[in-house]
A = this chain, B = another copy of it.
Amino acid sequence: MKEEYLSFKNHINKRILLSENEMRTFISAFKLKKVRKRQFIIQPDFTATYRNYVLNGALRAYVINDEGQESTIQFAIEDWWITDYNSYIYQKPATMFVMAVEESILLQIDYDTEQRLKHSNPNFEIFFRIMAERSTAYMQRRVIENITLTAKERYEKFLLKYSDFSQRFPQYAIASYLGMSTEFLSRIKNNKL
């Protein structure tokens, strides 16, 4: 087992119990992929082929509406997953951009390989079920925060939970993640209200 896969192995161990053999099988379904800064791994109209685990680096998923406004859907740094979820699970064209914000190293599994993996061993199926369940819970918490909190409260909560993110992603991306304008976030940060 390569040293660089340690965090991934750890990630898996936190979710399911696998034998050494199973672990090897699981990990070997993933391919190492390096992406340069500003490189896109997913673009609208192309179907998302991969589910991506971030070994190293930082990426951002966002959509662009008719007026050209960006909305950040997801951030990912080390030990996070990222893809256009809708596109990946339904295997239909993406609506998102997923771009590397830093030079990054990913572990990629493609859709067909994932299906085969899951059918080959119920433990693998369980792993993806647990991932999906937690994603749902996570998304639901985000919905709740979005509809119940003010812009300032959303930003403060964001800082508490993801202090790393604010160092590694541009302010305008964070603003659009939190559903507010760049200017307004700037004013919140600098207490200009």
Residues of A within 8 A of B (CB): 63, 65, 69, 71, 73, 85-86, 89-90, 118, 122, 125-126, 128-129, 132-137, 139-144, 146-148, 176-179
Contacts and interface: CB of A to CB of B under 8 A. Distances in A.
Number of this chain's copies in the complex: 2
Interface SS, A side:
helix
A118 B135 CA distance: 19
A140 B139 CA distance: 6
A147 B149 CA distance: 13
B71 A148 contact: yes
Contact of A147 (B134, B137, B144, B146): B146
A32 B62 CA distance: 43
Contact of A136 (B65, B118, B139, B179): B139
Given A139-B139, A146-B179, 19 more contacts: A63-B144, A73-B144, A85-B136, A86-B137, A86-B140, A89-B137, A118-B129, A125-B129, A129-B129, A129-B132, A132-B133, A136-B136, A136-B139, A139-B140, A139-B143, A142-B143, A143-B146, A146-B146, A147-B178
